Structure 1
Amino acid sequence: MRTALKQAVSEAVGTAALVFVGLASIAIFLGDEYAAISTLPHLLRLLLVLLGFGAVITAVILSPVGSISGAHINPAVSLAFALRGDLPWKNLPLVISGQLFGGWLGAQAAVAIWHRTLAGLSFGVTHHNAHFPLWATIAVELGGTLLLVWLIFWLVANSKRREVIAVAVGCYIWLFGWATATISGASFNPARSIGPAIAGHDYRELWMYILFPVLGAVIAAVWCRLAPASCGCNMQEGCR
């Protein structure tokens, strides 16, 4: 119980940092408070927003959060690790509760500081872009989370690859997120979507940002159990 509580607190801190910095990036780079930034092309501003998300993920993984709990900072990722047998099922509810609380706390803090700006940006809530078919958002959130979990499993399967996990995962969120943000908002993380939804009292489409990232993570975890070699594990020696 003590270990689970320690993991939960660690995940709460890490997820709070993720959501706070992410919403701060949205306010700074997509808001209208800074005239010099507001004149930049929208796609460049979006690239800077996703750089904020990617950079904070890298920082959290390298921080004590990474050594204490693994810095999942994402309920879908924690579920995948439980399915793979790396996180005890008895610890999972507390860990996810910590992540959800952290997401809420980070969103509340960001909204308290940038309330006017974020109010004009839907409080950073993730939404489907009506200019694209609904299946596109489903594919992005499911496929993006599947690839994220596969990447994490592939990296942690080998000690040498593990050394670059912080930068690799941060870059994935930055670049893949930028490529898909105009479609779905590039969440890949229920806690990232739930926190702002509560802060903005906007629960429209939230179900998609819970269901499909979780489904993508489950598919990746099952895939890696059935075909461990495809996730970087040596069939004779296992993952090390």
Structure 2
Amino acid sequence: MNVYLAEFVGTAILILLGNGVVANVNLKKSYGQNGGWMVIATAWGLAVAIAAYSVGRISGAHLNPAVTVALAILGDFPWAKVPGYIAAQVAGGAFGATLVWLTYLAHWGETENQGAKLACFSTSPAVPKKIPAFITEVIGTFMLVFGILAIGKIGAGVPAAEFAPIGKAVPTSLVGVVATWWSPMLVGLLVVSIGLSLGGPTGYAINPARDLGPRIAHQILPIAGKGQSNWGYALIPVVAPLVGGALGAVLFSALFKS
């Protein structure tokens, strides 16, 4: 499996499990209906970890254009591969959202709330103000990328092919090996923390592919009573995470890069 296919598959897994829990909580007559924010945030963190374990050894499991661009800014990922990674991530996001639609096929028509249906695909601000939403997404993605890089530093000495962005040399201690194994789960816990602490204002997209790919799927798929895809907001969860991720990479580089 090549790296682009791995990013497609990994992002599809991320969205299937991540947006799947939103559908489980939001859609009528689902057994998980009204499960709450804790359920959503926890499942999203697990989705990130499982997706990373699934394809990390192949592509580094970026699964997020903000992460890909941040690594390129740091010089840890070639710019020539950035467009291919991003295209694969967005396409994977759309495919994963399609699988969510199919999984909950019987429930869309049972749910009248169009906003609840859209939330199963893409994000929107709780308070419809774009500048505050932009700021929130920048801060959330800053924390995501800085946290990923910091977690990676714990496992310094692990090959980048294992779970980027963790180091470049072969691990020489049990601590390094354990860090390699647990890094995806730690990143998942980071996503849980961001969701619980910072996710309320916007639904914490913190990933352009996580929002854009599923929004495209929402636009195209014949979802019963779906309503509009809210393209007037769509630019914010694309641009703001790229800005936040770049800032996270710059600060990490200033603090830790030799």
Scaled by the length of structure 1, the TM-score of the pair is 0.83
Aligned ranges 1:17-166 → 2 under 5 Å: 17-34=13-30, 37-38=32-33, 45-63=36-54, 65-115=55-105, 116-117=107-108, 120-122=116-118, 123-130=120-127, 133-159=129-155, 160=176, 161-166=179-184
Scaled by the length of structure 2, the TM-score of the pair is 0.78
1:30–1:46 contact (8 Å) kept in structure 2: no
Determine whether 1:11 maps to 2:1. no
1:76–1:217 contact (8 Å) kept in structure 2: yes
Task: Quote the Cα distance in structure 2 between the aligned partners of 1:20 and 1:34.
Answer: 16
Gaps of at least 5 residues in structure 2 are: 156-175, 220-228
Residue identity (%): 26
Aligned ranges 1:189-228 → 2 under 5 Å: 189-201=207-219, 202=229, 203-225=231-253, 227-228=254-255
Instruction: State the aligned residue count.
Output: 219
Runs of 4+, deviation exceeding 4 Å: none
Which one has the bigger helix percentage?
Answer: 1
1:111–1:199 contact (8 Å) kept in structure 2: no
Q: Which moved more, 1:195-204 or 1:160-169?
A: 160-169
1:18 Cα shift? Answer: 0.6
Task: Quote the Cα distance in structure 2 between the aligned partners of 1:81 and 1:162.
Answer: 18
1:75–1:191 contact (8 Å) kept in structure 2: yes
1:188 Cα shift? Answer: 0.2
Gaps of at least 5 residues in structure 1 are: 236-240
1:112 Cα shift? Answer: 2.5
Distance 1:169 1:151, change over 3 A: same
